[in-house]
Structure 1
Amino acid sequence: MNEPTGREEAGDRPPPSINDIRTPGPAARVRMLSGDVGYVVTRAAEAQHVLCDPAFSSAATFLPRAPAQPREPVGSSRVLFEMDPPEHTRLRRAVAQAFNRRRVEAMRAGIAQVVDGLLDEMAAGGPPADLVHALCAPLPLTDICELLGVRREDRDSFRGWAETIMALRGHSPEEIDRARAAIQRYFVDLVAARRAEPAGDLVSELLTMSDRGERISEAELVRLAITLLIAGHGPTMNQLARCVYALLARPELYAALHRDPDLVAPAVEELLRTVPSVPVGTPRLALRDVEIGGVPIPAGSTVAVSALAANHDPALFPDPEMTDLGRTDNKHLTFGHGPHFCIGAQLARTEMRTALAALVRRFADLRLAVPPEAVQWRADSLFHGPLELPVTW
């Protein structure tokens, strides 16, 4: 593999930022979030190819001489989205067996109970309210902590650690190191406690699978728990807030869901397509010279997929700029594709469908308490969403 440099050639025109690319196309040369130069894939067919092709490595992006990432690996070692097969395959298979559709279905009633309780509190407090604080943040945090067996009194600490770790800026290296150490230490202690006294949570089940010969070390189990916490909280919090904002910024869309609650499920998929909370996925490194849609990509180049652009590819989505809450053939890439397809997609979908169904049922006249352009957006995180979502009713 050629040694990656991530540098521009002398005399090159400075490439645009990765966040400025919106038009679907095969691959565009851009400046990555890390500041290095790489490529972003913005057309659906090529995006699916990159996400499945082993020539594009997740693990290699963390090699010592690879272009810098906007953050370091979480915890003491790499997590699932920073691995390649066969290591990734082995650990993902173990989690998939434990974190399956049956488990998520079993959580459905509990999720509905959490949503109703949070909306009860919001209603009792009266308008206006911040929907991020009232619903979007506590719902996925409660669910993923419940799944992992994290104590209720520790959940606020977990939210702070997770947001510090995933921030792109705003925290010193020392603060990030302390958050990593804290979350690592917590899960080391939790795994030890479940080893001594199993409970009905996911950590206990993974320990049982390890004892049955699944070859999951306790260090790997800690990393898996960290992966699930980060991926189960930040993206869903921001995605739910983005979905509600999109509906309230165009009140006719929210009214349509209130009139026809059967639209909630396809509406969630359409909002996932149009306003993904992770517009650009985790970068990969080209292990050899390749072509993407006729664009030559040198070995050692950083390559990322823009779900936002690919989700608006007219070759896959008729009238891609239209928000069609009833769209049924919706093969969006917001949860990824291929080996790294989001393992928590089913849980995230269940949370968003449950939350939106309850909102439109209980708050028929929910609306933004400020003009849409006054909502402030999170700009310092890998996950994009409103910092606050002021609503009234």
Structure 2
Amino acid sequence: MGRPAVNGGRAPRVLAVIPARGGSKGVPGKNTALVGGVPLVARAVRACRAARPVTDVVVSTDDPLIAAAAIAAGAEVCVRPAHLSGDASASEAALMHALNRFEAEHDVTVDVLLMVQCTSPFITVTEVSDVASAVLDDGADTAHTVAPFHGFIWRESDGTAETDAAGAQGVNHDKAFRLRRQDRPQEFVETGAAYAMRAGGFRQAGHRFFGRTVLVPTDPGRVLEIDEPGDLQRAHALAPLFGTGDAAVPALPRRVDVDAVVIDFDGTLTDDCVWLDASGRETVAVHRGDGLGIAALRRAGVKVLILSTEKNPVVAARARKLAVPVMHGIDHKDVALTKWCEEQGIDPQRVLYAGNDVNDVPCFALVGWPVAVADAQPEARAAARTTTTSRGGHGAVREIAAWLLGKELYKP
């Protein structure tokens, strides 16, 4: 008999929580320390955001500098209370707090919970994806990253056992008869980088190693945990070999990368809901912050287009309000987008397209910056280069404008 489905048939909600308190004693301020020019917490956020199974990314912190770096990298922030921020605070307690807070604030049920450590500077998108997939697809209750290990472990005597007269003892070997490497069973070291678990099982067990645990082997050459100043120095030395983080994890787009922003309407500028009155007239809700973002993009010289399959006059009305061109009632959005780029003299690779559903995927394939909103359909998220933390109709377009313009967004 197979294991029960993770999500009961609906699209799974996969929440990645990055614990990052501000009170490190060994390396003060380590979670915002730069490795390859990128704050450690931002490296972890980028890896999670680029991992296709992950739907949401939250940084649990008590530190405003960490919170600012996390938000800039595209994560939500869960403010950790003081009683969970001390040196002796358990990671599981912070995870449970973030899980409970996220579900309550978003009115959702999380299916798979990830813990990703920003003290592992060279974590990859693949590692995050693989631990999540072990639970989502392979029937594991829990999974975590490990590295193959072939060394001999010793333990010094403490003077209390009868064997202490023999001195130090082998832990994973008999010092009197040591097998060759090829004759020994393979052992693994827990890397501390990424963990995944069924959220319901975690609530019941209270820890992250319940049920059937799957090990996800990783490249031992990339394994490094920053616990003391020497570890941070090694990370600085290794960063040029492993890249700045941008090679493995795409950075968010900047103004210099984008000449035009093309926006889907239903589900991107709206929350994908429609209200009908007795006469059959449709109305939708939009977000004022998105209007602010679009106005800022226009002031900055970025071309903006609304492109929609919807034929309802509300689409054109919203475009008029925003003073941007609109193409609606379009069956083949990719064809229309290609023609528009040609007419405007814009390289599609310098276009950011924001969408939420399967009919946006052909446009995603044409542009350099395909972006899915946070609650997009799985097919759209899988085809996107990056994903907003805001849902469609809840400020996703304003978030994109903030990526591109930074502080310029707030200039009149």
Shorter-chain TM range is: under 0.3
More strand by share: 2
Tell me which of the two structures has the higher relative contact order, counting C-alpha pairs closer than 8 angstroms and 6 or more residues apart: 1
More helix by share: 1
TM-score, normalised relative to structure 2: 0.23
Q: Please identify the structure whose Cα radius of gyration is greater.
A: 2
